[in-house]
């Protein structure tokens, strides 16, 4: 994902949600100060099937979808569910807002964690990222990438996980634990889920793919460039 491709979509997200680009950039720079370049060759998923686990309550019911996957990526608290169910985890994607202790433990054991910087998580970045093993941190931003901090697309932890898998060559993306209509979330989170859906539809089109979680929903999704 080139930033020139991502930037118009990113600006649309900022405009819709009223977020601040400068805040994202400040957070990115804080993360960069703690980060080192990540060796992406460690996660070469070329031609592989990658399970993308969201943190919706239905994840427990979807765990069978992880069977046979070559790699498993989990967003936020989905990492705990996946591990407790006995599955190996290849990457956690988080903005360190819910279960940072899990991220610390994973990096200490050598499992990579993709950490996202955005405008309202600077305190969490300052508190938790220094506790991670830096060798196992993939630093990410939704703003323009700088230094070791990359931007491979994505906005929420879940859809960012899918964009990361795409960037790393995944042939098939298999989704578990997703619910775009989750009634338990607050209005702001519901708007973020709507963006996650739009972004996955955009990624699906860019890949010439068909994600099963979008079946029956595509006609109602406002397209992105």
Percent of the chain with pLDDT over 70: 100
Instruction: Give the domain range for residue 29.
Output: 3-211
| 26 close to 126: Cβ distance less than 8 angstroms | no
Average confidence (pLDDT) over 103-114: 98
Report pLDDT digits (tens) over 144-166: 999 999 999 999 999 999 999 99
pLDDT recorded at residue 29: 98
Distance of CA 182 to the CA centre of its chain: 18
Measured CA to CA, the distance from residue 48 to residue 217 in angstroms comes to 26
Instruction: For the beta carbon of residue 202, count every other beta carbon within 10 angstroms.
Output: 18
Report pLDDT digits (tens) over 195-219: 999 999 999 999 999 999 999 999 9
Distance of CA 95 to the CA centre of its chain: 9
pLDDT recorded at residue 121: 97
Residue 42 within a domain? yes
Asked if the model's pLDDT at residue 52 lies above 80, the reply is yes
pLDDT recorded at residue 220: 96
Enter the pTM of the model.
Answer: 0.97
Residue 170 within a domain? yes
pLDDT recorded at residue 50: 98
Residue 225 within a domain? no
Residue 217 within a domain? no
Residue 167 within a domain? yes
| Residue from 101, 94, 158 nearest 132 by CA | 101
Which stretches of 97-156 are DSSP H helices?
A: 100-108, 122-128
pLDDT recorded at residue 70: 98
Residue 216 within a domain? no
Residue 179 within a domain? yes
Asked if the model's pLDDT at residue 225 lies above 90, the reply is no
- Name the domain count of the chain: 1
Report pLDDT digits (tens) over 116-139: 999 999 999 999 999 999 999 999
| 136 close to 106: Cβ distance less than 8 angstroms | yes
pLDDT recorded at residue 126: 98
């Amino acid at each position: 994902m080139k930033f020139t491709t991502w930037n118009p979509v990113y600006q649309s997200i900022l405009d819709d949600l009223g977020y601040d680009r400068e805040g994202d950039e400040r957070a990115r720079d804080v993360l960069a100060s703690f980060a080192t370049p990540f060796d992406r060759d460690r996660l070469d998923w070329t031609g592989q099937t990658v399970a993308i686990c969201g943190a919706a309550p239905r994840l427990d019911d979807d765990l069978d979808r992880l069977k046979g996957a070559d790699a498993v990526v989990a967003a936020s608290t989905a990492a705990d569910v996946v591990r407790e169910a006995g599955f190996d985890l290849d990457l956690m994607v988080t903005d360190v807002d819910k279960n940072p202790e899990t991220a610390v433990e994973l990096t200490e054991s050598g499992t990579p964690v993709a950490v996202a910087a955005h405008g309202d998580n600077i305190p969490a970045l300052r508190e938790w990222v220094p506790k991670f093993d830096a060798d196992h941190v993939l630093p990410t931003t939704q703003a323009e990438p700088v230094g070791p901090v990359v931007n491979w697309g994505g906005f929420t932890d879940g859809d960012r996980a899918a964009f990361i898998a795409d960037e790393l060559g995944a042939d098939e993306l298999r989704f578990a634990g997703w619910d775009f209509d989750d009634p338990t979330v607050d209005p702001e989170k519901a708007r973020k889920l709507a963006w996650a859906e739009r972004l996955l539809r955009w990624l699906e089109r860019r890949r010439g793919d068909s994600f099963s979680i979008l079946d029956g929903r595509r006609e109602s999704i406002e397209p992105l460039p």
